[in-house]
């Protein structure tokens, strides 16, 4: 298989963690006889410094031509002026828009060796959990009509059938590769937009009779994520509910430095990145955790390239080095020895 990948290193620790992610990608390339053509382009604070824009036109064009995009983290104090006309985060928003990414896919997984890092009781997570939150990214209350009227303000939640259908299809297709289970989260007992959401999902579910679909109200879902996260597999929900629930799910894993994400639209192309920030305070020190970036590569292989075996090889390698006690500083207990960024990347590659 030959694939073209646009690589954006980003700011802060971005170049360090992306270097290790690329190292893992090259190991997969060699072991499984694939060809991955990499094109490096710039976005974020570094692009502002060099080109006066967070997302140069040539970067967007290269990303559109690519089969997938691998992204580090962007931003930092240097560009953190809320009054600035150009900010690093604009690059990410414009890139998602340019690639027509309407689906945000965020896994939340507890690796058994890191179970103690979860804030949940051991009795709750003893069997682990592996969840993917599929969040609609370009509609809903964040994009509805809003404004001020005298001493009141309003924001409008609006969804169309086509918007719900396309995000639901992403969830069903992911579930088809996993455990054939989807929880669709809404507030259909109160919101008309949620009633349309539930009606549309239930109708579309008839096209996937082998997948079990459970409807759940968002307040109950928030509680159930804490009470029994293992009951979930693929969680499908709207923009605002997904924003909240994906953050909750990421925190109950206990290790934000371990979590990857994807944003995608129609077709196979996706944008893959760790959910953590650019951590400029530790940039250049060789102590950043590259595992989320490496797992972003695993997501890319699985979701965009349909290379499940290769993706599992990376995931298993990560679990293996964690089981052997290797830790970066962010996931190490007080008495545990830490391992640097490059060393962790090498150890994972050696286990693939």
Is 187 catalytic? The answer is yes
Choosing from 57, 80, 219, 350, the catalytic residue is 219
How many of the other CB atoms lie within 10 Å of CB of 208? 18
Token representation of residue 307: 């290379």
Cα distance between residue 40 and residue 186, in whole Å: 40
Q: What percent helix, strand, coil does the chain show, rounded to 5?
A: 50, 20, 35
Query: 142, 169, 176, 180: which is the annotated catalytic residue?
Result: 142
Residue 330 is a catalytic residue: no
Q: Give the span between the Cα atoms of 3 and 1, in whole angstroms.
A: 7
3-class state of residue 345 by DSSP: helix
In this structure, the dihedral spanned by the alpha carbons of residues 183, 187, 192 and 198, taken in order and rounded to 10 degrees, is 10
Neighbouring C-alpha atoms within 13 Å toward the C-beta of 119: 11
11 catalytic residue (yes or no): no
Give the CA count within 13 Å in the CB-facing half-sphere of 62.
19
Is position 243 annotated as part of the catalytic site? Answer: yes
Which one from 186, 187, 208, 233 is the annotated catalytic residue?
187
Write down the catalytic residue from 67, 186, 233, 243.
243
Instruction: Give yes or no: 49 in active site.
Output: no
Residue 333: half-sphere exposure toward Cβ, Cα within 13 Å: 10
What is the three-state SS of 34-54?
A: CEEEEEEECCCHHHHHHHCCC
Residues acting as catalytic residues? 142, 187, 219, 243, 247
């Amino acid at each position: 298989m030959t694939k073209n990948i646009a690589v954006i290193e980003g700011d802060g620790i971005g170049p360090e963690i992306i270097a290790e992610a690329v190292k893992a990608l090259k190991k997969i390339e060699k072991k499984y006889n694939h060809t991955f053509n990499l094109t490096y382009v710039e976005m974020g604070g570094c692009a502002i410094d060099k080109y006066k824009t967070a997302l140069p036109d040539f970067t967007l064009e290269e990303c559109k031509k690519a089969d997938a995009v691998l992204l580090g983290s962007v931003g930092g104090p240097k560009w953190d002026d809320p009054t600035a006309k150009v900010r690093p985060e604009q690059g990410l928003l414009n890139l998602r828009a340019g690639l027509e990414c309407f689906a945000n896919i965020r896994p939340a997984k507890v690796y058994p060796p890191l179970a103690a890092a979860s804030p949940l009781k051991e009795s709750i997570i003893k069997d682990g959990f592996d969840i993917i939150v599929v969040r609609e990214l370009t509609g809903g209350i964040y994009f509805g009509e809003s404004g001020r009227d005298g001493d009141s303000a309003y924001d409008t939640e609006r969804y169309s059938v086509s918007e719900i259908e396309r995000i639901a299809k992403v969830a069903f297709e992911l579930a088809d590769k996993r455990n054939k289970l989807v929880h669709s989260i809404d507030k259909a007992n109160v919101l008309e937009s949620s009633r349309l959401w539930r009606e549309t999902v239930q109708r579309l579910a008839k096209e996937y009779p082998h997948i079990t679909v459970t409807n759940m109200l968002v307040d109950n879902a928030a509680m159930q994520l804490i009470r029994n996260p293992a009951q979930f597999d693929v969680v499908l929900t709207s923009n605002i509910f997904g924003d909240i629930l994906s953050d909750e799910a990421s925190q109950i894993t206990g290790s934000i430095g371990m979590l990857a994400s994807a944003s995608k639209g129609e077709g196979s192309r996706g944008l893959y990145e760790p959910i953590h920030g650019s951590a400029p305070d530790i940039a250049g020190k060789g102590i950043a955790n590259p595992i989320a970036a490496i797992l972003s590569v695993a997501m890319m292989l699985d979701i965009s390239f349909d290379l499940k075996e290769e993706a599992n090889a990376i995931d298993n390698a990560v679990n293996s080095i964690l089981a052997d006690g290797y830790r970066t500083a962010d996931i190490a207990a007080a008495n545990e020895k830490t391992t640097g960024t490059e060393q962790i990347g090498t150890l994972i590659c050696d286990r693939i």
